[in-house]
Structure 1
């Protein structure tokens, strides 16, 4: 069972003339899924070295890109448009707190710590990230939808794409949709250009599934 189960009923888009934050929900869900898998693998003592390092590099890279883009392309814009900046300061503070939790997991992986140590640190990170995603969805995304323009929201997405590059996108999309619900998969693939959909189905997903990655143990 998932250790960081998230609400199944969330508002995934606003009115038609406002920003659709569905992609943000999909990214949050993928982060939660990855940590659930890491915890389950560690608790089962089933953490192959190649998969462990590949999965951690992928997870930490995508989280860093995502949070950096929020810090540069979301929170500063919103701070100029709200009277009370407490929510945005909370988002920034939670990002800083998560950095310490990420360092704890990173240290456990690099030092080949016992599986129980890795599981404990991954659980701490999962708890912190779950709380942050919940706060962001409940408090910050309504501000995004209310106060930002579509052009500004698109710039937030473009910033992440530029940081990932083509090679990063080839890993990001199959990672994002790994185990995703059909509705989420349709939504995400409906947003991206047709060439990306073709590459995802024909090249990126098959290659991703052949490579070392985190998977929930069969007994979990």
Structure 2
């Protein structure tokens, strides 16, 4: 890693191994924002096959991720890393803005909603999400580094204990879907073997059933849409 190449989940080689669990969540969010945009366009102005259950699973994970940051992660970093408080001002309001964007997507997926509403809702959500994750990573990865590996991992375990059962049942197959095999192997090694087995079998099959309507419309994971030049 060089000074010109800041740490980012979009370049996993820039991250120490113990950051990869956090990074895979960000990668999965961007992947699914791209899937949502592709599904919205798949029916040429009509409505795609119902994907509401898949969207609710995604929103549950994002809501938990953000609440655990606001309630536990950010306060802990403010206490432990003096430089974080000022840097974190760049994140103010981001989660509230994403909540509104996700509300709009949910409304566009509701029965009876105009088919044309989903494309702009998906695009707005995806754009906000990508911008937020990029800003967040510029702020939090240096703070994680200052914590040190053992303290960071203890904090990560504390965050995971706050996840409700519906999120825990979704999290492992969702994070590992189409992920870099080396990162998957690294993160899987930190998961207790019985939980890891459950994630590869029962939970993965349930996750794939939720994902099936999306995959039928989008095919392989679509690449992120490039930002327009301003």
For normalisation by structure 1, the TM-score amounts to 0.82
Distance 1:11 1:204, change over 3 A: same
Q: Distance in 1 between matches of 2:197 and 2:129?
A: 32
Residue 192 of structure 1 aligns to a residue in which SS?
coil
Structure 2 vs 1, CA of residues 112 and 10 (structure 1 numbering), >3 Å: closer, same or farther?
farther
The aligned runs of 1:168-207 (5 Å cut-off) are: 168-207=167-206
Q: 1:11 aligns with which of 6, 14, 35?
A: 14
Q: How many residues matched? A: 207
Aligned-pair Cα RMSD in Å: 2.5
Cα distance in 2 between the residues matched to 1:98 and 1:130: 11
Q: Deviations over 1:69-120 (max 9, x none)?
A: 1111121122234257232122232112212212221221225433432121
2:108 is the alignment partner of 1:108: yes
**Kept in 2: contact 1:43–1:115 (CA 8 A):** no
Runs of 5+ consecutive residues of structure 2 not aligned to the other structure: 1-8, 223-230
**2:134, 2:151 → 1: CA distance?**
25
Q: Helix, strand or coil for the counterpart of 1:105? A: helix
Q: Deviations over 1:36-68 (max 9, x none)?
A: 11110110126212xx11111111100010011
User: Once superposed, which parts of structure 1, at least 4 consecutive aligned residues long, lie more than 6 Å away?
Assistant: none
Q: 1:118 to 1:61 in 2, by over 3 A?
A: same
Q: Deviation of residue 25 (structure 1)?
A: 0.6
CA distance in 2, matches of 1:139, 1:83: 10
Aligned counterparts of 1:83 and 1:61: Cα–Cα separation in 2 = 31
1:73 aligns with 2:72: yes
* Corresponding position of 2:154: 154
Q: Structure 1: how far apart are the matches of 2:104 and 2:209? A: 29
Once the two structures are superposed, residues 132-177 of structure 1 have per-residue CA deviations (whole angstroms, 9 ceiling, x without a partner) of 1111112222112214673465234433343223x53232211221
Q: State whether structure 2 residue 209 is matched by structure 1 residue 210.
A: yes
